Structure 1
Amino acid sequence: MNPHISLPRQHSGPSNFGGAAPSNRGEGIRMPRFFKRLFKFPQMDFEMAVWEMTSLIIAPKKVFRSIYYHVQTKNTWHRPDPSFTYLLSFFLLLTSLAWGLAYADGFARTVRITLMFIFIHFLLISLLVSTVAYFLVGRLLGPGIPGLPGRRRQGLFVQPGDGEQLEFGYCFDVSIRAFFPIWVFLYVVQFLLMPVIARDYWVSLFFGNTLYLVSLGYYTIITFLGYNALPFLHHTELLLAPTAVFVILWFASLFGLNLPQHLAPILLTGAQLRKGV
């Protein structure tokens, strides 16, 4: 599937988390459309979500080019469609069961791993990252955000303003899409290669640590591409700075720190990896 791409309208109107405009008669803030569509599965575009997941690994830049279509038609950068979140949560459910059956002691710990993977690793961390990005990226790289000192507080969902503004919903879109390569490399590939990369050999250490470098590198690049697609943000290349830190830490880890041996048990909420798996 190749989505239609068109240029955004200049001087677009108010944007918000779900694309719903505020009432003109002072009726308050309407419920964001994202929440209204949480359980309307027939209206969700799972085909688009699958295309995005494939493109995030092969050509991530294409994913964020498609946002211009939503600006043109919906007057919002954010896509109020939870299909990507549901689909990735389902994939995390499957991988958590695989990790649990392989390393957990009993059904209760497997359920705990499942809850941790979906609600803590994915949703909570994505919310925290998107919240930090909403305040810092909008404040430092763009026109700022409403609600800070010196501005009239409008909240996170309805943001009327004079020009383009960073939406919290778009920050969440970027965060969950940046998490997909993390799932691919650290939840799937690492699980499949664990019998090899968890051994006490330098080659195992090299390939295991490289998995973490690649996954974090993808996360940083996708985050950069997401915010770089917004025409009102400036100097977004600063978001690539963490890659230099990751490379330095990766190089230092090659002198004896096997990341899969130390971080995979944390991924499993403290479960012990069997030696020689």
Structure 2
Amino acid sequence: MNPHISIPRQHGGSSTANFGGTTPAARSEGLRMPRFFKRLFKFPQMDFEMAIWEMTSLLIAPKKVFRSIYYHKQTRNTWHRPDPSFTYLLSFFMLLTGIAWGIAYTNSVGAAVRLTFLFVFVHFLAVSLLVATAAFFFVGRLLGPGIAGLPGRRRQQGLFTREGEGEMLEFGYCFDVAIRAFFPVWVWLYVMQFVLWPLIARDNLISTFFGNTLYLVALGYYTIICFLGYNALPFLHHTELLLSPTFVYAILWFISLFGFNIPKHVGPLLVIGAR
């Protein structure tokens, strides 16, 4: 054997063996900050035009909003959209309505400021986080694949999902669904109710009918959008069970027409904590 022949090194490899089983890059992979928070202050990268399109579609054709997640899953390999533009935009709208409600129904500047913060951080963000957390723990377990006790076959896989892939509910996606379901609630209960308050908060049949219908529509939108969001995931089945609250809302709405004006009694709860 010629001692002058050298063995070439392999390009891209390491000269030392890794006996730990995982590389530093693999270990740091699990410590990555979620992309949603990474992009929290990168405003040039946010797609506000897409957020406006989603808001418009949520009112007239909400199914379109979640139909596009297949393409997002194909390109990004995640159901969650790590773009905070929708959250920022709706937070800004809540800020404006909080100022309007504060000026109209509070007695001081401090109370108006408190109400504005309550609208943004409690009514919108905290409630959405609470709903997303509950959905993350319960929807995946109750409506996921292989759940015993539910009849029927599993749903077919999606266009870009193979058997065994992507069958895990993401918390970020649950938050996406929650904040998008909140948008029609903002339209009907924070904007329309504010505008129509002098007319619907009266003790007569017409005011009770239109005021109570406002709440029925808002809660119905919320439930339907949540259903559409989870129904779009190919690994969940029997998602129609998420529509069951609409029957309860309809029964309560019908009962309330016999003398219980919801805006008059429930509407003032929106300003609790500000006075």
For the criterion TM > 0.5, the same-fold answer is yes
Q: How much does 1:24 deviate? A: 2.4
Distance (Å, rounded) in 2 between the aligned partners of 1:235 and 1:256: 37
Which amino acid in the other structure matches residue 117 of structure 1? F
Contact 1:67 1:77 (8 Å CA) reproduced: yes
Contact 1:44 1:81 (8 Å CA) reproduced: yes
Q: How much does 1:201 deviate? A: 1.2
In structure 1, the partner of 2:135 is 133
Q: How much does 1:269 deviate? A: 1.2
Matches within 5 A, 1:1-277: 24-25=26-27, 28-143=30-145, 163=165, 164-269=167-272
- Cα 1:108–1:25 shift into 2, 3 Å: closer
Q: How much does 1:270 deviate? A: 6.0
Unpaired stretches in structure 1, ≥5 consecutive residues: 1-21, 145-161, 273-277
Distance (Å, rounded) in 1 between the aligned partners of 2:190 and 2:226: 19
- Taking structure 1 as the reference length, the TM-score comes to 0.82
Q: How much does 1:72 deviate? A: 0.8
Contact 1:96 1:113 (8 Å CA) reproduced: yes
Which amino acid in the other structure matches residue 98 of structure 2? S
Which amino acid in the other structure matches residue 245 of structure 2? P
**Secondary structure, in 3 states, of the residue corresponding to 1:51?**
helix
- Taking structure 2 as the reference length, the TM-score comes to 0.82
In structure 2, the partner of 1:3 is none
Distance (Å, rounded) in 2 between the aligned partners of 1:193 and 1:26: 54
Give CA deviations for 1:122-163 in whole Å, capped at 9, x if unaligned.
00010010100001110011148xxxxxxxxxxxxxxxxx53
Distance (Å, rounded) in 1 between the aligned partners of 2:110 and 2:266: 21
- Cα 1:133–1:41 shift into 2, 3 Å: same
Contact 1:265 1:271 (8 Å CA) reproduced: no
Which amino acid in the other structure matches residue 191 of structure 2? V
Unpaired stretches in structure 2, ≥5 consecutive residues: 1-23, 147-163
- Matched-pair identity in %: 74
Distance (Å, rounded) in 1 between the aligned partners of 2:123 and 2:49: 25
Contact 2:63 2:228 (8 Å CA) reproduced: yes
Distance (Å, rounded) in 2 between the aligned partners of 1:31 and 1:58: 35
Distance (Å, rounded) in 2 between the aligned partners of 1:116 and 1:259: 21
Which amino acid in the other structure matches residue 134 of structure 2? V
Which amino acid in the other structure matches residue 126 of structure 1? S
- Cα 1:271–1:251 shift into 2, 3 Å: farther
Q: How much does 1:23 deviate? A: 5.2
Which amino acid in the other structure matches residue 217 of structure 1? G
Q: How much does 1:66 deviate? A: 1.0
Q: How much does 1:236 deviate? A: 0.2
Distance (Å, rounded) in 1 between the aligned partners of 2:196 and 2:233: 38
Q: How much does 1:225 deviate? A: 0.2
After the TM superposition, which segments of 4 or more aligned residues of structure 1 sit over 4 Å from their partners?
Answer: none
**Secondary structure, in 3 states, of the residue corresponding to 2:26?**
coil
Aligned-pair Cα RMSD in Å: 1.9
Distance (Å, rounded) in 2 between the aligned partners of 1:37 and 1:221: 29
In structure 2, the partner of 1:15 is none
Distance (Å, rounded) in 1 between the aligned partners of 2:249 and 2:29: 48
Contact 1:143 1:165 (8 Å CA) reproduced: no
Give CA deviations for 1:155-207 in whole Å, capped at 9, x if unaligned.
xxxxxxx5321100000000000000000000000000001001111100110
